Homo-oligomer: A and B are copies of this chain.
Amino acid sequence: MNAKPEQTVPAAHIKHWDSVTDVAILGFGIAGACAALEAARGGAAVTIFEAAGGSGGASALSGGEMYVGGSGGTDIQQRNGFTDSTEDFAAYLTLAGGPAPDQAKIALYAREAVDHFNWIRAQGVPYKGTFLPGKIIEPETDDTLIWSGSEEAWPFSATAKPAPRGHTIQSPGWGGGRKLMDILEARVREAGVQVETSARGRALVADDGEIVGMIIRQNGKELAVRAHRGVIIATGGFCMNTEMVRRHAPEALRCSHPLGTIDDGSGIIMGQAAGARAIHMNEFFVTCPWYPPESLVKGIFINEAGQRFINEDCYHGRVMSAAVAQPGTRVFLLCDNDIFARPMELANVELAAVGESWGEVEAELGFATGTLSTVVEQYNAHAAKGEDPVWHKAAKWLKPLTTAPFAALAFNPSESYFSYFTLGGLETLPTGEVLNLGGDPIPGLYAAGRATCGLPRWGRGYSSGMSLGDSSFFGRMAGRSAGERGI
């Protein structure tokens, strides 16, 4: 029938259902996996349809960190000396949600994240339980707990008592997300979930406003799938769909690396075709691994106007989201000899200027005389007193940049390694129900993960582990809601 995501297929057009299940899930990243577990264990027949050849999606590209806390803290937080109240966790998530946070999701997640984390462990996901201090992106070791956001940085530190909340799977080096997904896939298969791979969602099937199934394309054939209780969209965001990014988040196209696998937005479009609304479609996560080494955090970023624009001790992605919004094409990280080190090769940044004085660096970069050097002088004068009156970098990262030689590292979003993914998507209730254009749930339709607009919805507020936390938790909620529907 040549189904298209942008059009629901009327149930009356389906002559024959090629397969029948209770809950049909599109996408086998972490949201789909967790949805499947809840629905299957609740007694529903569940089928996952994954467009790729196997499980994982963008979740498998991640570091396998989960952003959890509250309720006094996980046992791992507590064991390492950190308490974390639900109120502080919620306050942090609210500030991280930007100008329009989802208070209902925040309240639920802040209250239940510790239980959720224990559920994740009960699936067999291992955590060493150790704390790794410092400013890092992901552990190079197999340690667990890290500062994975802006908790200790202004204004977050002034809003919520800081606690490290990044809980990393026990797995040496980066990229624990693949291991996390392998473990969850094993549980999914044990739970009796049917898994269809190389099976792309093509369109939802609707019967008088209710979603009753979908059309899948597999092995060159279109198959009609009846889902008695509901369909769950867990297809991820749209960063790999350049035209869709251009329509909604064109600033992201300045960045060099979309971070996804398929992530073509087709799930969002299928939802919209069923009457759903998509929100905050302009927002995106972006980062560049500009630290480690953490000594660089003692440097200062300036834009092409020679201005600082953020406290450099906040989350790397918050710094880089601000960097992408600066006028001009590059930003510069200024270092002195005490703190200088080359960032990871991956970052692909350029040593743009060196000099025996800041005036020399200024001249080499082509800045007007006195612009850059004045900024450094003022920063140094305040840093010597342990102060950063304008941008509020915490005292432990303040150090006058006075030891020659001096250097400027150039970060260009289109040439350095700036990876991004989209944060806008379908609007859902905490239950996973997808809302229509009028704000009412669409019967039979659920969604989770980056096909939705969830807890992470503001590029400037992202923290590592927030998307996995949101996707796994609200994936479970969607699975439970769909699995229990109409029983």
Name A residues whose Cβ lies closer than 8 Å to a Cβ of B. Answer: 4-7, 98-100, 209, 246-248, 250-251, 253-254, 269, 272-273, 275, 277, 279-282, 305-308, 325, 368, 370-371, 374, 378, 381-382, 389-391, 427, 436-438
When C-beta atoms are compared, the residue in chain B nearest to A310 turns out to be: B327
When C-beta atoms are compared, the residue in chain B nearest to A98 turns out to be: B250
Chosen A-B contacts, 28 in total, with CB atoms closer than 8 Å, are A4-B438, A6-B436, A7-B209, A7-B275, A7-B437, A7-B438, A98-B250, A99-B250, A99-B251, A99-B253, A99-B254, A100-B246, A100-B250, A247-B280, A248-B279, A248-B281, A250-B280, A272-B277, A273-B275, A281-B282, A305-B307, A305-B308, A307-B307, A368-B382, A368-B390, A370-B381, A371-B389, A374-B378
Whether the Cβ atoms of A5 and B371 lie closer than 8 Å is no
Would you call the interface of chain A mostly helix, strand, loop, or mixed?
loop
* Least Cβ–Cβ distance between A229 and chain B, in angstroms: 23
A7 partner residues in chain B, CB cutoff 8 A: 209, 275, 436-438
* Least Cβ–Cβ distance between A424 and chain B, in angstroms: 9
When C-beta atoms are compared, the residue in chain B nearest to A208 turns out to be: B10
Q: How far is the CA of A356 from the CA of B484 in the complex (A)?
A: 73
Q: How far is the CA of A284 from the CA of B279 in the complex (A)?
A: 15
When C-beta atoms are compared, the residue in chain B nearest to A427 turns out to be: B247
A378 partner residues in chain B, CB cutoff 8 A: 368, 370-371, 374
Whether the Cβ atoms of A100 and B247 lie closer than 8 Å is yes
Partner of A438, one of B6, B209, B306: B6
A209 partner residues in chain B, CB cutoff 8 A: 7
Whether the Cβ atoms of B4 and A247 lie closer than 8 Å is no
A4 partner residues in chain B, CB cutoff 8 A: 438
* Least Cβ–Cβ distance between A402 and chain B, in angstroms: 17
Whether the Cβ atoms of A306 and B253 lie closer than 8 Å is no
Q: A99-B251, A305-B307 are in contact. List 5 more A-B contacts (CB 8 A).
A: A5-B437, A100-B250, A273-B437, A368-B382, A374-B378
Q: How far is the CA of A124 from the CA of B410 in the complex (A)?
A: 58
Whether the Cβ atoms of A248 and B437 lie closer than 8 Å is no
Q: How far is the CA of A99 from the CA of B99 in the complex (A)?
A: 23
Q: How far is the CA of A246 from the CA of B458 in the complex (A)?
A: 13
Q: How far is the CA of A280 from the CA of B251 in the complex (A)?
A: 11
* Least Cβ–Cβ distance between A261 and chain B, in angstroms: 22
Q: How far is the CA of A391 from the CA of B328 in the complex (A)?
A: 11
Max count, chain B CB within 10 A of own CB: residue among A282, A325, A378: A282
A251 partner residues in chain B, CB cutoff 8 A: 99
* Least Cβ–Cβ distance between A170 and chain B, in angstroms: 39
Given A248-B279, A281-B282, A306-B390 in contact, is the A438-B371 Cβ separation under 8 Å?
A: no
